[in-house]
Amino acid sequence: MKSFYWRIALAITLVMTVVGFAYIMITTIASKNYFLETTQKLNASVAEYLVKEAPPFKNGEVNEEALGVIMHSMMAVNPSIEVFLLDPEGEILSFVVLDSKVKLKRVDIAPIKDFISTNGSEFILGDDPRSNGYQTIFSATEVIEDGKLLGYVYITLASEKFEDVAAGLLGSYWLKLTLNSFLVTMVVALLIALLLTALLTKNLREIVKTVNKFKDGDLKARMPELKSNSELSVLASTFNQMADNILHNMEELKNVDSLRRELIANVSHDLRNPLAVINGYVETMMIKGDQITVAERDLYLKIINDSSDKLTKLVADLFELSKLESGQVQLKMEPFKIQELLFDACMKYELFAKAKNINLIADISSSLPVVEADLYLMDRVIQNLIDNAVKYSPENGNITLKAFYCQTTFKVCVSVKNTGSGIPQKDLDSLFKRYYMVDKEKKGIEGSGLGLAIVQKIMEIHDSTIKVISDSSSFTEFVFELDPMENMN
């Protein structure tokens, strides 16, 4: 009985039972009223017939003899009627009643007038002289002599004996009807309740089943789509959205945990080499003491300084990438001219490029529209791309920094292209992964391997992408796009 299904079934059964009893009660009352109305209409002219056959008044006085003879004759045929002679105000002057006591001295005249005015065509109840406050069916007519209203003949059509017999039969009828109807109503109500409950709780049972699956570890369990707009449909849709959010959040937590583990592993691995170098040369200097020459000391200090710089940059890149991947970086969007940022970057790397005899070319349109982005992060993207190009360009090579408005995509396009050996096609898909470096063993190429991963994350949080193009033999080009202000919502 704790099941929702059985509770609904029981509720419907009780409601059906109450409705069944109410129906029986209403049917019984309606049947009784039907009988009374039929009896009244069939005997509506009895009082008028009496007045014609035996005038109840003679010379203004009650004609008891004539009244008694006719009344006894009529009562022999129909013993359920009782006759009362009333004055114009409704006071009882005389009556013919069998085995009954008359308790009223006056009868309400209003129902009698209504009955006469409608010629008995409507169902009207009047006072029963045998009891206080009880009404019954009747027949009535006016008694007029020489144009003067002498009173009324008032005939009740249901005597006390009739009421007693009817009450006894009604009790027996009610008992039989109640027993039969109760059994039938209960059986029918139970069947209907079970059927309706099964139909109404079908979707609910599916929902409970899905929730239990989800609780037991089946995180892909989802509610079936319901076509209706009912509360259960909203519940199913809400549960599916909640389950998707939970699954998404769990994946994010797994990714964050994976990033944490990876960060710890990378930090412990990548910091070990420069720390070991620093520690080794510091110990050497301490062991040799005064025996170390000035040249050796300068060399050792330079190595220590270079390792320290490398260590500082590696830690900075690690934490910056981790913040980007964990969504902790808040964008500070502002409008600016991308060409100014590009020219500044060219000036910063001009000397660095000349040191390797690399020609740095700026092919930047001066009429570019204003863009909106995080100025600091976009500067980091451009610097990382140029720094990467300088490292991988051979001596006497070329680096072209290009910016133009694309008429196809309606965006500002920026590219950094360098000559050189290019990137093998097999490496293109892995180029933006952490610590992935092409020809990282090549002499003269140093770095943390995090620069391009940082670039990709910055472009992602700007709802853009970074693309790499290479013919694997002569050039490598990195391209990204930004929305101009006029096209942004």
Distance CA 387, CA 358 (A): 12
Distance CA 159, CA 166 (A): 10
Where is pLDDT greater, at 86 or 164?
86
Distance CA 119, CA 114 (A): 9
Tens-place pLDDT, residues 209-245: 788 887 788 877 877 776 666 666 777 778 888 888 8
How confident is the prediction for the chain on average, in pLDDT? 79
Contacts 24+ apart (CB under 8 A), 309-318: 310/274, 310/446, 311/271, 311/274, 311/275, 311/278, 313/448, 314/270, 314/271, 314/274, 314/448, 314/450, 315/267, 315/271, 317/448, 317/450, 317/451, 317/454, 318/263, 318/266, 318/267, 318/270, 318/448, 318/450
Where is pLDDT greater, at 369 or 17?
369
Q: pLDDT band at 435, cuts 50/70/90?
A: low
Q: Indicate the DSSP class of residue 108.
A: -
* Spatial contact of 381 and 371, defined as CB atoms under 8 Å apart: no
β 92-96/125-127 pair status: unpaired
Beta bridge partners of 364: 403
- 3-class secondary structure for 319-372? HHHHHHHCCCCCCCEEEECHHHHHHHHHHHHHHHHHHCCCEEEEEECCCCCCEE
Beta bridge partners of 405: 412
Q: What's the confidence (pLDDT) of residue 480?
A: 93
Using the structure block, give the residue that is written with the tokens 């409507």. Answer: 122
Distance CA 401, CA 349 (A): 12
In 3D space, the residue among 393, 16, 346, 429 whose CA is nearest the CA of residue 185 turns out to be: 16
Distance CA 74, CA 46 (A): 10
Helices and strands, counts by H and E, the chain: 13, 14
Element (H, E) at 93: strand 92-96
Helix, strand, or coil here: 296? helix
Where is pLDDT greater, at 364 or 102?
364
Percent of the chain with pLDDT over 90: 14
What end-to-end distance do the CA atoms of the chain give, in Å?
59
Beta bridge partners of 62: 57
* Spatial contact of 481 and 402, defined as CB atoms under 8 Å apart: no
Residue 376 has pLDDT above 80, yes or no: yes
Residue 75 has pLDDT above 70, yes or no: no
Residue type, 402: K
Helix, strand, or coil here: 418? strand
Where is pLDDT greater, at 111 or 178?
111
Distance CA 197, CA 192 (A): 8
63-91 average pLDDT score: 74
* Spatial contact of 56 and 85, defined as CB atoms under 8 Å apart: yes
Q: What is the pTM of this model?
A: 0.47
In 3D space, the residue among 116, 130, 29, 124 whose CA is nearest the CA of residue 80 turns out to be: 130
Q: What's the confidence (pLDDT) of residue 335?
A: 92
Q: What's the confidence (pLDDT) of residue 213?
A: 81
Residue 479 has pLDDT above 90, yes or no: yes
Residue type, 385: L
Residue 343 has pLDDT above 80, yes or no: yes
Residue 413 has pLDDT above 90, yes or no: yes
Q: What's the confidence (pLDDT) of residue 178?
A: 60
Element (H, E) at 185: helix 160-200
Output the six-digit token pair for 417. 């292209």
Q: Which of 64-73, 169-178, 254-263, 299-308 has the highest mean pLDDT?
A: 299-308
Residue 433 has pLDDT above 90, yes or no: no
5-28 average pLDDT score: 73
Where is pLDDT greater, at 474 or 434?
474
β 148-156/82-86 pair status: antiparallel
243-265 average pLDDT score: 76
Tens-place pLDDT, residues 355-370: 889 999 999 988 899 9
Number of Cβ within 10 Å of residue 138's Cβ equals 28
Distance CA 94, CA 224 (A): 83
Q: What's the confidence (pLDDT) of residue 444?
A: 44
Dihedral of alpha carbons 140, 145, 146, 149, sign: negative
Percent of the chain with pLDDT over 70: 78
For 87-91, 441-445, 485-489, which range has the lowest pLDDT when averaged over its residues?
441-445
33-38 average pLDDT score: 81
